[in-house]
Each structure stands twice: as structure tokens, then as C-alpha cells.
């Protein structure tokens, strides 16, 4: 890694820290690029070399969160059918997801404060629903009732997001491994597999 790369990383980290600090005392709409630059101790030219305005900063957070979450799921959950998924794959994926969230909690916190908790939850939930739906089709998981399938994926995606957000609010006290085991037990091993078992029996 070059000195230039290190400088860029340091600058972006300063911007991240600045927006989070500012959001603790001011609403996002009241924060200016000047405020961010002063708090980050950088000039406007440096800021604008990375983001065109304050909205672009938050949008970059949203984009990276969604893309990274999708990549984690697709990287860890492999196979052409549900029976090909090893038991550890889901748990490994969830643990890596929580590790990612813990590491990026500053950006997630800033995004939620900037766009509002409700809008943040709704937007991210829609994307998680879409990802889970696509994965369901790839794994050839079918249900006799399409409505059941739709509500089940909605339940799982919202349950995951709700638990993740509460973990963040509580300061990430539990380890990513503990959260992964908890989430797997409550949603994947519990509700999801119980529905699949019922479907097979019928």
C-alpha cells in the first residue's frame, strides 16, 4: 500500500468520524459540507475529490452496505439446492455478516441517522428481501403456497434486520459468533426449517 493510499484511507476515516460526531448534535439537513470539513480537519477540495455533496456521502454508505451484504451471502451460501448447503455455511455467513456490521457500525449509524431509522430499515429490508428471494430461486426452494413463501421471506428478512439494529443500539455487546448462533436458531433453524418440514410432510 502506497503513502497516497494511506492518506486516502485516513481522509475517508476522518470524514466518517466527522459526520457521525455531527449527527449526534445536529439533524442531517442542518449539516453542511463546511461543517464536515471543519470537523474532519480537511479542506473542501479534498472533500469534493471524494463526494460531490453531503448526500453522496450517505448514498455511498447505503450502496456499500447493500453490495457487501449481498456479496457475503452469495460468497458463503453455495450449491444448486437446499440439500447441498452444509450446516456450517449459514452460520459462517451470519458470523461474517455480524463481523462486517460491527466493523462498519459507524457508517451504519450515520446512515440511519441521516435518512431516518424507519426509512433506513424499510430500504435495507427491501434489498434483503430481494437477495433472499433470488437465493431461494437459485436453491430451487418451492412452497405449495406462494403467499406463504412471500410472507416467510418477508418475516426472515425483517427479523434479521430488526435483530441487527437492536444489536447495534446495544453497543454490539455480544460477539458476532454469539449473534450468528442466536439468529440461526431463531430464524433459519427455527421458523424456516419448520415450515419446510411441514411442507414436506404435506
Write the CB contacts of 82 (distance below 8 Å, at least 6 apart in sequence): 139, 140, 141, 196
Residue 172 phi, psi (nearest 5): 55, 50
pLDDT for the residue 109: 83
Residue 83 exposed, middle or buried by CB count within 10 Å (0-12, 13-18, 19+): exposed
Residue 175 grid coordinates: 460477539
Low-confidence spans in the chain with pLDDT less than 50: 81, 198-199
pLDDT for the residue 185: 80
Task: Measure the CA–CA gap between 18 and 91, rounded to whole angstroms.
Answer: 34
Task: Measure the CA–CA gap between 73 and 82, rounded to whole angstroms.
Answer: 14
Q: Could you count the other beta carbons within 10 Å of the beta carbon of residue 164?
A: 21
What pTM did the predictor assign?
0.76
Task: Measure the CA–CA gap between 53 and 48, rounded to whole angstroms.
Answer: 7
pLDDT for the residue 35: 97
Residue 112 grid coordinates: 440511519
Contact call for residues 176 and 99 (beta carbons, < 8 A): yes
Write the CB contacts of 30 (distance below 8 Å, at least 6 apart in sequence): none
Distances (CA, A) of 88 to 5, 85, 91, 93, 94: 36, 8, 5, 8, 10
Q: Could you count the other beta carbons within 10 Å of the beta carbon of residue 33?
A: 15
Task: State which H helix or E strand residue 60 sits in.
Answer: helix 54-76
pLDDT for the residue 152: 79
Amino acid at each position: 500500500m502506497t503513502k497516497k493510499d494511506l492518506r486516502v484511507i485516513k481522509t475517508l476515516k476522518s470524514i466518517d468520524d466527522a459526520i457521525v460526531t455531527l449527527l449526534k448534535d445536529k439533524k442531517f439537513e442542518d449539516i453542511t459540507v463546511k461543517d464536515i470539513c471543519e470537523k474532519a480537519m480537511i479542506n473542501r477540495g479534498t472533500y469534493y475529490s471524494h463526494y460531490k455533496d453531503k448526500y453522496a456521502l450517505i448514498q455511498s454508505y447505503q450502496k456499500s452496505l447493500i453490495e457487501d451484504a449481498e456479496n457475503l451471502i452469495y460468497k458463503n451460501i453455495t450449491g444448486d439446492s437446499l440439500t447441498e448447503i452444509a450446516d456450517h455455511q449459514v452460520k459462517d455467513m451470519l458470523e461474517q455478516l455480524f463481523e462486517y456490521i460491527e466493523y462498519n457500525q459507524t457508517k451504519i449509524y450515520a446512515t440511519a441517522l441521516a435518512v431516518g431509522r424507519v426509512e433506513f430499515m424499510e430500504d435495507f429490508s427491501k434489498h434483503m428481501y430481494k437477495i433472499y428471494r433470488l437465493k431461494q430461486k437459485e436453491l430451487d426452494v418451492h412452497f405449495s403456497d406462494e403467499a406463504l413463501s412471500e410472507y416467510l421471506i418477508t418475516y426472515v428478512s425483517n427479523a434479521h434486520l430488526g435483530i441487527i439494529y437492536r444489536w447495534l443500539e446495544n453497543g454490539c455487546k455480544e460477539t458476532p459468533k454469539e449473534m450468528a448462533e442466536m439468529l440461526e436458531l431463531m430464524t433459519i433453524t427455527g421458523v424456516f426449517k419448520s415450515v419446510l418440514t411441514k411442507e414436506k410432510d404435506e
